[in-house]
Structure 1
Amino acid sequence: MTSDQLCLIAIGGNMPSWAGSPDRTVDAALQHLERAGAQVAAASRLYRTPAFPAGSGPDFVNAAAALRMPGAPEAVLGVLHAVEAAFGRERVARWGQRTLDLDLIGVDDLVLPDLAGFETWRALDAQAQQQRAPDCLILPHPRAHERAFVLVPLADVAPDWVHPVFGQTVRAMLEALPQDARDEVVPL
């Protein structure tokens, strides 16, 4: 894709960056994305959520944004990774502590690399998820539909976005999660 497309991103962090605390880092990252060419169409409130997996570090600050960005999804991901690096993100341990995490959740209604590739990554068990990382972009994010820390903020910015594989809106996927999972995501 070369025209501006709707890019949904999940934002999080639980370690300070040069911008300050995680909540300040999230705000600064959105400004940095705008300077990198993204148009922030909507940004969620900030939320406090327990570290994932449980006990892996301090609580996170999470948010979501709907961006309009040109370029192929891989180029968009490249911009997100560059912004993470600018805030001191180091990829030491999968699901480890971090200054900034910018996850590309969805781009319009794209499924990448294809439905079979998406299903392969979605079906991984928890141990494999923690040990393996894909070698190509998987869209939509293969586990976004399972994570309240993604869906609660995403419902602030794109409640009616339809998951291109499951055919459900963000709102419906969020309502399908257990109440205790939703209750862990607390507005700041």
Structure 2
Amino acid sequence: MTTLENRPGTALIVIDVQNGVVAGAHERDAVVANIATLVGRAREEKVPVVWVQHSSDELPKGSDTWQYVPELPPGDGEPVVEKEYGDSFEDTTLESVLSELKVGRLIVAGAQTDACVRSTLHGAFTRGYDAILVGDAHTTEDLTQWGAPSPAEVISHTNLYWSFQTAPGREAGTVKTEEVDFAS
């Protein structure tokens, strides 16, 4: 249903599952395992996997904290989009990568829920993409000392509100890993 013309394809977008981002993340191992399942299925079904990798003062390019977690190595030929802002589209090559792949529907997983995942979901949706969040394949760290809700509450709330996201000509929603349908 995307509003983007001639973009019938689907891609799995894996956001910032980097050592320094998920080291202390809520249910890290379970989320990484779910993302690995999604990546494996996408590869089997010939669905593009697009990796997004954040850099900042805390995640300098080339550092160990900047690297993807060892359980999730990008495959040969799979695009890696480097970013410096929360929205994976902002000042990056993501749009051109997706256009080249003729993708108009995104399956979104990664970290952090309350920052880059949310920003990218909203950025995709406002740009005309269908944006499906995998509810058990995203995570965040504990920011309660700064007044944020617990990580479990952040994740739950994001899953809830994204399941009701609507706009003309676009599809949104939240599904579990085992419910992901790359062919839709």
TM-score, length-scaled by structure 1: 0.33
TM-score, length-scaled by structure 2: 0.33
